[in-house]
Structure formats: structure tokens, C-alpha cells
Amino acid sequence: MPLEAEYRKEKRRIFCVITQGEEGGAQRFVSQLAEHLNPDRFLLHIVWGVSSGNALARTLPAHVSHAIAHHLKRNVSLWHDIRAIKELRQLMRAFRPDVVLCISSKAGFVGSRAAHGLRAEFPDLKVVYRIGGWSFNDPLPRWKKKLYLWLEKFSARWKDIIVLNNEHDLQQAHALGIVPRQQVMRIYNGLDAYLPFLERESARAFFDHRVPQSAREHAYDFLVGTVANLYETKDIATLIRAATQVGANTRFVVIGDGPLRRELEHLIITMGLTNRFFLLGRIKDAWRYLAGLDVFVLPSAKEGFSWALLEAMAAKVPAIATRVGAVPEMIEDGVSGLICEPGNAHQMAQKIVELTNDAELRQSFAIDAHQRVLNTFTLREMISQYEKLLG
């Protein structure tokens, strides 16, 4: 038997396509998978778009290879998308995968189309589409929502399995007729509940030194924050508006960056929050500093299964989150955190005030949320399910 055949028997070859290499939830999932998939059973190769940053590469272990697709772009572009399909097909043909794993909406469309064109050459090829949140749930014009829904339904025929990370999106797939060749399933995100978070005092000092010198002169009692790229779906604007209704003894920080930064900075100035609300930019391993927060807020207009919220739960930081995606599955309202409606700044402010005024409630939420990570959202369970799926 040729050596290549023996090699292929030993390891499953996984070709993973993700649209962007910048930091974010989808990238966090890929890096977790890369680090923890059994290297004796799986050979993982990851491809992402050229213009999207290279942060993901820095998180990958040495045994995981990666490459750039020069025409893979986040935004829809017929010219680039057709070329991305051809480019990915060439890369797949060279790698000879057993499984093509597509991450995120754009990668799901072009990646599955590229793989579909190889089925004659690789009749046993499996195409798995893992989506962190349906694009048609984004805050978009109605026509664009309909277009994205149609694209998901049309491209499902190229996919063998679709994996959602929350029950809400799973039920939407069934209700809306998104039907792949085999099945739609749910696998929750998972995390190590004992990540090496910084101690509270060190993390708080880190945040204090990241704000402008002029702001350090203003005393505060509570620190409220979040981790989010500055996209419309993360709805940081609602958190800014909520901050205007919270006492001056509370400071707000956002870790992350993105295209809405200038717009949000302008809103902060307009709302008179320049000494209380700070956009700190991207911070490597942002989760390490979460214990410095008194309250974590997820203000998103749309989510799948938020890694940032899960990390806050593991860090024992009491959380407030909007009722989107997996949030009601992650925290029980009034038991392990507080849930508010998306886009409702007044309600969000009320929840923040309620938590900052009640130390016992903060402690109770923190303990219960951490226990939920230990019991339900473990890294071991997530990896085990993906190894079974990809094997």
C-alpha cells in the first residue's frame, strides 16, 4: 500500500475555511478547535481571506498549517466571489481533504460551492457548515435579510451537515426550511472554566492605566465592560446610551475595534461621557482581564453563542445580556445573570444599576454562572462532539 494511503488512513484531513483572520468569535472557535483536536487523528489546514488581518495565525499551534485565499472577502462581490470559489477549489484539490469545514456565512457559501465541484473527484468528501449566527438575523434592511435567507436555503444543498451553536438558530433552520443533505444539529460552544484569569486587583489596575490620564482624576466605584468588535450587530451604541442613565460613580470600557469606532467616539462625546466611557481597542487575550470588571454587559442586537459572555461567566463576573441567540440558554434570568431586550437602553441601564447596587446579587450570579460553564459548556464536551462529527 502506498505511504500516502497509509497516512490517510491514520489521519482525517480537515480543510477549514473561515472568511476573516481578525480576532472574533468565529476565530476563537477555530483556534480552540486547532489547539484541542487530537493531532494523532486529525490533520487540520485553515484558509482565510487576505485582507482580514492575521491575528488568527498567532493563535494556531505549530502542527496546524494555514494559507491565504486572495479573493475571499467579507462583503459580497460577484467578481471576487467567483474567483474565491475557483481559488478554494484549487487549494482543496491540493490538500485532498476528507472534510471541508466552513465557518461563518460567507465562507459557508463559497467554501461549500467549491467543495461541491469536487464531489466527482472525492466522492466521500463531507462538507460541514458551522454557523455562529444566521446573517438574516442581523440588523439589516428587509430585502437584504430575505436575500441572505434565500442564499442559506439555496446553498444548503451543497452541505452535508449544518451545525448551529444554539437552540434558537436550530429551530429557525427547521422553521425556515434550511435543509442540508444529511442533518442540522446543535453543538454548544465550550470553554475551560479555569482559564488563568488575572486577579481582580491586577486586572483593575490594567484597565485604569488604559484610560487617558485626564480620566484617572475622576474617581469611580464600579467598572462595567464588554468585549466586542465594533460592528453594528454588537450594538455598542445602546450601551453608550444606557451609560448616560447610570450614576457618575460607574465607568465603562469596551475592548475591541472595528469600522464603527469613529461613529461611536462621536456618540460618546455627544452624550457627555468622555470621562466615563472608553473604547480601549483590541487587547491580546482580552479574557485575561475580565475579572477586573464589576459587571459584564453583552448589548448585542444579534449573537449566536457569545464567547465573550461565556468567558465572563468562567471569570465569575456577573453578567447582563440581551435576549438574542443562545443567551437564554446560557444564563437563567434572575438566577445566573440578567437579560434585557436588545436595543432598550433604559432597561439595560436599570439592570446595570440593579447589579451595581447589590453586592450579594453580583456574587450569587457569578457563582451560578461559573457552575453553568462547569456543568454544561465545557471545552471537553465541545471538542468531543466535533471529533465525532469530523471523524
List pLDDT tens digits, range 284-335. Answer: 899 999 999 999 999 999 999 999 999 999 999 999 999 999 999 999 999 9
- Does the residue 62 lie in any domain? yes
- Does the residue 157 lie in any domain? yes
Band of pLDDT at residue 217, cut at 50, 70 and 90: confident
pLDDT digits (tens, 9 = 90+) for 62-84: 999 999 999 998 777 788 899 99
DSSP conformational letter for 197: P
Work out the average pLDDT over 261-279: 97
Q: 225: closest CA among 184, 187, 253, 200? A: 253
- Does the residue 152 lie in any domain? yes
Q: With pLDDT > 90 as the criterion, what percentage of the chain qualifies?
A: 85
Work out the average pLDDT over 200-215: 93
What pLDDT is recorded for position 52?
Answer: 56
Same-domain pairing of 385 and 359 = no
Distance CA 281, CA 292 (A): 17
Same-domain pairing of 91 and 129 = yes
Contacts of 300 (CB under 8 A, 6+ apart): 228, 233, 234, 235, 306, 321, 322, 324, 325, 342
Average per-residue pLDDT in the chain? 93
HSE, CB side, 13 Å, CA atoms: give it for residue 2.
Answer: 3
Work out the average pLDDT over 89-93: 97
Distance CA 388, CA 203 (A): 38
Residue 321's beta-bridge partner residues? 298, 339
Radius of gyration of the chain (CA): 21
Same-domain pairing of 32 and 100 = yes
Taking CA 19 as the corner, what is the angle to CA 16 and CA 20, rounded to the nearest 5 degrees? 110
- Does the residue 42 lie in any domain? yes
Distance CA 289, CA 199 (A): 8
Same-domain pairing of 216 and 330 = yes
How many independent structural domains does the chain possess? 2
Q: 114: closest CA among 198, 208, 16? A: 16
Same-domain pairing of 343 and 311 = yes
Q: Which of 23-37, 116-130, 328-342 has the lowest mean pLDDT?
A: 23-37
Work out the average pLDDT over 248-257: 96
Distance CA 99, CA 115 (A): 9
The CATH number that applies at residue 96 is 3.40.50.2000
Same-domain pairing of 105 and 53 = yes
Residue 198: φ, ψ to 5°: -65, 150
Report which residue type is found at 135: S
Its pTM stands at 0.87
Band of pLDDT at residue 5, cut at 50, 70 and 90: very low
Q: 72: closest CA among 106, 119, 112? A: 106
Q: How far is CA 120 from the centre of its chain?
A: 34
What pLDDT is recorded for position 244?
Answer: 97
Helices (H), the chain: 3-10, 25-36, 78-95, 105-116, 142-155, 167-176, 200-210, 236-243, 261-270, 307-314, 327-330, 345-356, 359-375, 379-390
Same-domain pairing of 361 and 337 = yes
- Does the residue 194 lie in any domain? no
**In this model, does residue 195 exceed pLDDT 50?**
yes
Band of pLDDT at residue 260, cut at 50, 70 and 90: very high
Per the document, the length of the chain is 391
- Does the residue 147 lie in any domain? yes
Same-domain pairing of 22 and 161 = yes
Please measure the distance between the N-terminal and C-terminal CA atoms of the chain and give it in whole angstroms. 22
Range of the domain at 36: 3-188+378-390
- Does the residue 362 lie in any domain? yes
pLDDT digits (tens, 9 = 90+) for 354-380: 999 999 999 999 999 999 999 999 999
- Per DSSP, the residues of 87-154 read HHHHHHHHH--SEEEEESHHHHHHHHHHHHTTTTT-TT-EEEEEESS-GGGSS--HHHHHHHHHHHHH
What pLDDT is recorded for position 4?
Answer: 47
- Does the residue 195 lie in any domain? no
Band of pLDDT at residue 53, cut at 50, 70 and 90: low
Q: Which of 25-39, 68-82, 179-193 has the lowest mean pLDDT?
A: 68-82
Same-domain pairing of 369 and 382 = no
Q: 58: closest CA among 84, 25, 22? A: 22
Q: Which helix (H) or strand (E) holds 255?
A: strand 250-255
Same-domain pairing of 229 and 323 = yes
What pLDDT is recorded for position 56?
Answer: 86
Work out the average pLDDT over 335-352: 98
Same-domain pairing of 23 and 155 = yes
**In this model, does residue 131 exceed pLDDT 60?**
yes
What pLDDT is recorded for position 305?
Answer: 93
Q: Which of 54-68, 244-258, 263-277 has the lowest mean pLDDT?
A: 54-68
3-state secondary structure of 235: coil
Same-domain pairing of 263 and 174 = no
Q: With pLDDT > 70 as the criterion, what percentage of the chain qualifies?
A: 97
